[in-house]
Amino acid sequence: MLGTRTMQSHAPKRLRDAALIAGCCVLLGGCALFHKNLTSPQQFPWTMEMGTADTVATPLPPDAVPMAHYFKAEVALTQGDYDVATKEYELAVAADPTSAVLHYRLATLYVRANRLPEALAETQKAVDLEPDNIPARILLAGIFSALGQDADAIAQYESILQHDPNNQEAHLFLGALYGKQGEFGKAQDVLEELTRISPHSFLGFYYLGRVHAAAHNFDQAEKDYKQALQLSPQSEMVLLDMALLYEAQDRPERAIEVYQRVLNTNPQSAVVRKRLGGLYVGQKRLDEALSQFKELEKTEADAQETRVKIGLIYFEKGDYDKAATEFTLVLAAEPNNDRVRYYLASAYGELHDYSRAVDEFARVPVDSEYYPDACAHIGYIRQKEGHLDEAITYVKKAIDAKPDNSELVGLLASMYRERGDLSEAIDLMQKLVDRNPTSDKYYFTLGALYDEAKNKDAAIAAMRKAIELNPQNAPALNYLGYTYADTGVNLDEAEDLIQRAITLEPNDGFYIDSLGWVYYQRGDYPKAVEQLERALELARDDPTIAEHLADAYVKTGKAQDALRLYQEALGRSKEKDQVERLRAKIQVLQDGHADGGKNF
């Protein structure tokens, strides 16, 4: 038997001593065959000189069989025949199950073949046979880690360090495992000890940097990475992690510098070009992003995803023709790519090629995650074309696919409003409010719908709720203040509400119009004119502001200016009630019956 002995990097002495014998056995096909063929002493002439010899087969020593399998395995390994080597080591282990050497060697071959459970069993046997066997424990810990048994791996590495406190490999892997489990303090202690033992440990500083980065100790991580780079200045691994560190710190310019440094030595790095391109997109440096992705496209075996990114950059730049071209080329190679088909349809939509856009959106399959948005886009296009019934149908399809999507429900409510179905629109918005009771925006929209439906009390209640939820909601502040001003009630509160809105958005012409109208309703016509003139400068095309200023001009004796503004407002107004009102006011002024605005 080979027995148990301390494993060395080479074959044990007894095995080496038997090398010639076992080698001969291998070359001659085995000792048994050698003895079998010695049937007559006359076959070899020297036997006559030495005298007659006993030709009976001598029994093989106990070590011969495992030795023979061992050397056959080693020969197979030199020839790259790992299957044969594995089989021979299995036979060797079967012949001598007490040899830690053989169990360990077989385990390494199992690891190479990704037969980790079998490797684990063999390595455990080696460790059981030789508890102080450091290489076997290192392998055992590595297998535990690969199988996700981190606690067992940590226990092995800790045991190794008890026997061999200066073992660098154990320090490195133990620190990495502590970091993986979020035990950053322990990881830091172990890795710092490694760098003390070996001040030139490149991997020690590198993993120490990774641990500090994971713990969000970015400044120290940067120092560790720089120390690692002093030991290996061109390490792409460290440079990439340092660039990612700068990205995490929102320091894109430093990250770009590091990525460019990698490209200087490895211009084919697809990872770097992708990261660099993404950074340029984030900075709106679209031409530089485009350059990176075009370079990437030249080197990638499958460049379709890079072509998609190029198309998206063209889309972001507003070059929809080129974007559509890139997406079309991708679809030629990948006709079932519904994501890219959605992008292509969107590009056609931006080009106002609505027919093609609808055709492409309609080809997005029902089971695609892009289907609801495709239906919504078709609905939006049909709405723009004035086909509200069809638009509503498609938005309903989108809602059926994504029933919890509040934006789609809001879009459907806006379509009902446009069609004049205010009750349907109000019902939908009420559902949104019930679903999102803390949303001031939904309460605002509900209040506006109630106002349009002539339900002032419900409108005021909804606007008050919106302001209660968000006192900084400028549109709600203005809407409620203007509602009071328009009806001539609560004018002091109206002024306060509108002033708050103007403080938030000082250059909004509609808010300033509301303030002017408060002054008008109070009878302070000069102040009304002052505010309304400024409002009209900011929102020149709004017919209601023009009408308000014209009313104030009438009150201040500027009939001709009033007539001009009434006529301008009439040319822009699309509301039936306002059109009739403006015509009546114009008629009064043209008939010369201006009476200071009493008839208005």
* Residue 126 token pair: 């080696």
Taking a C-beta distance cutoff of 8 angstroms, is the pair 161, 189 a contact?
A: no
SS3 441: helix
Give residue for tokens 């940097």.
Answer: 209
> For residues 388 and 382, what is the distance between their CA atoms, to the nearest angstrom?
7
- Chain center to CA of 231: 33
DSSP label at residue 4:
-
SS3 114: coil
3-state helix/strand/coil string of 384-418: HCCCHHHHHHHHHHHHHHCCCCHHHHHHHHHHHHH
In this structure, the number of other CB atoms found within 10 A of the CB of residue 46 comes to 7
3-state helix/strand/coil string of 275-338: HHHHHHHHCCCHHHHHHHHHHHHHHCCCCHHHHHHHHHHHHHHCCHHHHHHHHHHHHHHCCCCH
* Residue 368 token pair: 């695609």
**How big is the chain, counted in residues?**
600
CA distances from 535 to 275, 509, 510, 512 (A): 48, 4, 7, 5
Domains and CATH numbers, the chain: 1-164 (1.25.40.10), 541-600 (no CATH)
Contacts for 485 with CB less than 8 Å, ≥ 6 apart: 491, 494, 498, 514, 517, 518, 521
* Residue 324 token pair: 């559509």
DSSP label at residue 42:
G
End-to-end CA distance of the chain: 119
> For residues 388 and 475, what is the distance between their CA atoms, to the nearest angstrom?
27
519 phi and psi angles, rounded to 5 deg:
-65, -40
pLDDT tens per residue, the chain (600 residues)? 434 333 333 344 333 333 323 333 333 233 332 233 323 333 323 233 333 334 344 454 567 888 999 999 899 999 989 999 999 999 999 999 999 999 999 999 999 899 999 999 999 999 999 999 999 999 999 999 889 999 999 999 999 999 899 998 889 899 889 888 889 999 999 999 999 999 999 889 999 999 999 999 999 999 999 999 999 898 888 998 999 999 999 999 999 999 999 888 888 788 888 888 889 888 889 999 888 888 877 776 666 877 888 888 889 889 999 899 989 988 988 999 999 999 999 999 999 999 999 999 999 999 999 999 999 999 999 999 999 999 999 999 999 999 999 999 999 999 999 999 999 999 999 999 999 999 999 999 999 999 999 999 999 999 999 999 999 999 999 999 999 999 999 999 999 999 999 999 999 999 999 999 999 999 999 999 999 999 999 999 999 999 999 999 999 999 999 999 999 999 999 999 999 999 999 999 998 754 444 445
Taking a C-beta distance cutoff of 8 angstroms, is the pair 167, 161 a contact?
A: yes
> For residues 392 and 380, what is the distance between their CA atoms, to the nearest angstrom?
9
- Determine the residue type at 269: S
* Residue 420 token pair: 């004049």
Contacts for 415 with CB less than 8 Å, ≥ 6 apart: 379, 383, 388, 391, 392, 395
In this structure, the number of other CB atoms found within 10 A of the CB of residue 147 comes to 14
> For residues 512 and 523, what is the distance between their CA atoms, to the nearest angstrom?
17
> For residues 589 and 209, what is the distance between their CA atoms, to the nearest angstrom?
82
In this structure, the number of other CB atoms found within 10 A of the CB of residue 435 comes to 12
In this structure, the number of other CB atoms found within 10 A of the CB of residue 200 comes to 9
> For residues 109 and 113, what is the distance between their CA atoms, to the nearest angstrom?
6
Residue 596, by phi and psi: left (phi above 0), alpha (psi -120 to 50) or beta? left
